[in-house]
């Protein structure tokens, strides 16, 4: 997903370099970075917290991609393909959060 974020933003207008491009790339990289950081922490409580942050970044990314489509920076077909990948990531993340929650109880 992070690589897809970099790929789709290559064609964005130059004036979005410090705006939407930066936001999409940051949110896209933040999802796996938070998962990795949570895995390196002690206990499921810490992991759960970082998984929640990863989900927040995924939701933020979802909005930025929708905005990109509405602004005409992403073609509808490209948005659909990237959005489907993001939905899959969110489903996997939600499943992992449920698993960690069940082990915390």
Cα–Cα distance between 86 and 93 in angstroms, integer? 10
Q: Which two tokens stand for residue 28?
A: 């896209």
At 37, which CATH number? 1.20.1440.60
Q: Is residue 104 scored above 80 in pLDDT?
A: no
Task: Indicate the pTM of the whole model.
Answer: 0.92
User: Is residue 54 within 8 Å of residue 30, measured between CB atoms?
Assistant: yes
By the 8 A CB rule, do 52 and 38 touch? Answer: no
Question: How many domains does the chain fold into?
Answer: 1
Determine contact, residues 8/78, Cβ cutoff 8 Å: yes
Q: For 13-51, how does the pLDDT look when each residue is reduced to its tens digit (9 = 90+)?
A: 999 999 999 999 999 999 999 999 999 888 888 999 999
pLDDT of 83 strictly over 90: yes
Contact between 34 and 60 under an 8 Å Cβ cutoff? The reply is no
Going 81 to 83 to 86 to 88, the CA torsion angle's sign is: negative
Q: Residue 3 half-sphere exposure, CB side, CA atoms within 13 Å?
A: 0
pLDDT at 43: 84
Domain residues for the domain of 10 are: 2-104
């Amino acid at each position: 997903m992070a690589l897809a974020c970099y790929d789709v933003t290559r064609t964005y207008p130059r004036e979005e370099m410090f705006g939407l491009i930066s936001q999409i790339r940051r949110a896209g990289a933040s999802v796996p970075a938070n998962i990795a950081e949570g895995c390196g922490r002690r206990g499921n409580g810490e992991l759960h917290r970082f998984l929640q942050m990863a989900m927040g970044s995924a939701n933020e990314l979802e909005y930025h991609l929708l905005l990109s489509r509405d602004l005409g920076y992403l073609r509808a077909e490209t948005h659909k393909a990237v959005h489907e990948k993001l939905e899959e990531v969110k489903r996997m993340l939600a499943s992992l959060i449920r698993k960690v929650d069940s082990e915390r109880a």
